[in-house]
Amino acid sequence: MRARPPCWSAGQEEAASGDLWRDISASVLRVLGGFGLSALVALPLGIAMGANTTFCRLLEPLLALLRYMPAPAFIPLLIIYFGLGELPKVLLIFIGTLFFNTLMIMDAVKFVPRELLETTLTLGGRRRDLLVRVITPFIAPQVLDAFRINMAAAWNLVILAELVAADSGLGKHITLAQRFLRTDQIFLGLIVIGLIGLLIDLSFRMLLRRSCAWAT
């Protein structure tokens, strides 16, 4: 008989009972919610900060300060304010990725060559055209790359939030396994987390290659 790692049979067992799928989908949904929200806010904010010096000077010190506050330190506050449901977890991911997303997008906008913007103006373009037709397509590859990198932070945070307090999710799966000394289950959780992360990373890379072939 071939020897199989114990987490393999743990995986089969979990997959059959449906618990694993429930935990995966809970974690994935939280990441998508929190990160999606963060991306939605970071895009206009980062573009505005990159394109407008006054706006940037106003907000940058604040963002720089907030960026140095570790997101996990917000967990107690989030639990006190929002309880143990989905909201505090989504918000944790939002807080933990917003500043990085915004600053990276801002930087991308700042590096749009001035000649490109001025050429557009001399071709009859207006300010709106600069935003829609020049800045947005130019920064698209850097934005996708920033999202890809910061997505890893989102995964760290969701697991952390679930380790602290949750009734589902991969983090919860691991704490529960710890209580019963089921190292096979812990390894299963870790491997699944790693695989999902890898899958997300690869999909971002593929999206980048497909939509921004000019930059790769």
Partner 1 sequence: MNLVLDSVCKRFGEGRDAQLVLDRISLTMHTGQFLALLGSSGSGKSTLMRLVAGLEKPSSGRLSLDGQPIRGPGSERGMVFQKYSLYPWLTVAQNVAFGMELKRLDRGEIRERTAYYLDVVGLSNAARRLPRELSGGMQQRVAIARALAAEPRLLLLDEPFGALDLQIRESMQEFLYGLWQRTGLSVLLITHDIDEALLLAQQVHILAPRPGRIVQSLSLELNQRDLRELRISAHFQTLRHEVADTLRQLDRDLL
What long-range pairs does 193-198 form, CB within 8 A, spacing at least 24?
193/27, 193/155, 193/159, 196/24, 196/27, 196/28, 196/155, 197/151, 197/152, 197/155
**What is the nearest approach in angstroms of partner 1 to the Cβ of residue 121?**
4
**What is the nearest approach in angstroms of partner 1 to the Cβ of residue 20?**
42
Q: Which is nearer to partner 1, 180 or 214 (CB)?
A: 214
By CB under 8 A, tell whether 199 contacts partner 1: no
**What is the nearest approach in angstroms of partner 1 to the Cβ of residue 46?**
19
**What is the nearest approach in angstroms of partner 1 to the Cβ of residue 214?**
4
CA 165 to CA 72: how far, in whole Å?
Answer: 13
Q: How many residues bind partner 1 (CB under 8 A)?
A: 20
CA 112 to CA 87: how far, in whole Å?
Answer: 37
Q: Which is nearer to partner 1, 121 or 207 (CB)?
A: 121
Smallest CA-to-CA distance from 160 within 30, 19, 33 is with 30
Q: Which is nearer to partner 1, 58 or 121 (CB)?
A: 121
Q: Which is nearer to partner 1, 120 or 156 (CB)?
A: 120
**What is the nearest approach in angstroms of partner 1 to the Cβ of residue 127?**
11
| 138 φ/ψ angles, rounded to the nearest 5 degrees | -65, -40
Question: What is the b/e burial string over 20-58, where b = at least 16 CB atoms within 10 angstroms of the residue's CB?
Answer: beebbebbbbbbebbbebbbeebbebbbbbbbeeeebee
Q: Which is nearer to partner 1, 4 or 209 (CB)?
A: 209
Window 108-147: contact mask with partner 1 (x via CB under 8 A):
-----x-xx-xxxxxxxx---x---xx--xx-x-------
Question: What is the b/e burial string over 134-144, where b = at least 16 CB atoms within 10 angstroms of the residue's CB?
Answer: bbeebbbbbbb
**What is the nearest approach in angstroms of partner 1 to the Cβ of residue 208?**
12
Q: Which is nearer to partner 1, 18 or 124 (CB)?
A: 124
Which pair of structure tokens corresponds to residue 113? 């060559």
Residues that bind partner 1 in the complex, under the rule CB under 8 A? 113, 115-116, 118-125, 129, 133-134, 137-138, 140, 212, 214-215
